[in-house]
């Protein structure tokens, strides 16, 4: 395996307290889903530009949750702890864990990931042109003629060898 192959397998997950209210900015952004919480602030705009530039997705915003299951900062009711990734199909859920007391005003969040092995396999299988059945039939006939002529030549050699002995 070479480093190019390893590079194809790697993917990025950034997570943390970005301290940015992203919410949905405009409809042309592919980095934000339709399920954000709160109004976008200036830091959220800056983060959205960063995420778009690096072709990442803010996964918190792609899964519909009740507002109380979406808040990562309980005191000020914000969603500012985020998961970013360049492979959104690997994420199946993002949620907060509100039963765990971390001693902070933030709640712990988790992301559930899966690996789509069928998709990865399809990416690595080389695509071949469709086979032309007429071309195959012609090549089969050519092969049969070549094979029979070689056997005829072999038979002639054997007969000449047996008659000379």
pLDDT by residue, tens only, the chain of 165 residues: 577 777 777 888 888 888 887 876 555 566 777 666 667 778 888 888 898 888 898 888 888 877 666 666 656 667 778 888 888 888 888 887 777 677 777 777 888 888 767 777 777 776 666 777 888 888 888 999 998 888 888 888 888 877 776
**114 and 164 part of one domain:** no
**112 and 155 part of one domain:** no
Start-to-end CA distance of the chain, whole Å, equals: 59
Q: How many whole angstroms from its chain centre is CA 123?
A: 9
At residue 25, the pLDDT reads 55
Q: Alpha helices, DSSP H only, in 30-132?
A: 42-53, 117-124
**45 and 79 part of one domain:** yes
Domains contained in the chain, number: 2
Cβ contacts of 32 within 8 Å, gap of 6 or more: 22, 23, 24, 25, 48, 51, 57, 58, 61
**76 and 20 part of one domain:** yes
At residue 97, the pLDDT reads 77
**Domain that includes residue 120, residue range:** 3-124
At residue 75, the pLDDT reads 62
């Amino acid at each position: 395996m070479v480093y190019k192959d390893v590079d194809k397998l790697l993917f990025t997950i950034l997570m943390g307290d970005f301290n940015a209210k992203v919410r949905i900015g405009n409809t042309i952004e592919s980095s934000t889903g339709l399920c954000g919480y709160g109004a976008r602030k200036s830091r959220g705009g800056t983060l959205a530009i960063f995420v778009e530039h690096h072709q990442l997705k803010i996964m918190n915003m792609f899964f519909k949750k009740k507002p109380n299951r979406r808040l990562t900062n309980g005191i000020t009711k914000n969603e500012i702890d985020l998961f970013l990734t360049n492979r959104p199909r690997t994420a199946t859920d993002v949620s907060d864990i509100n039963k765990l007391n971390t001693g902070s005003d933030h709640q712990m969040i988790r992301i559930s990931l899966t690996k789509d092995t069928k998709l990865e396999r399809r990416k690595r299988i080389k695509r071949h042109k469709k086979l032309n059945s007429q071309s195959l039939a012609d090549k089969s006939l050519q092969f049969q003629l070549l094979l029979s002529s070689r056997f005829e030549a072999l038979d002639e050699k054997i007969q000449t060898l047996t008659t000379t002995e």
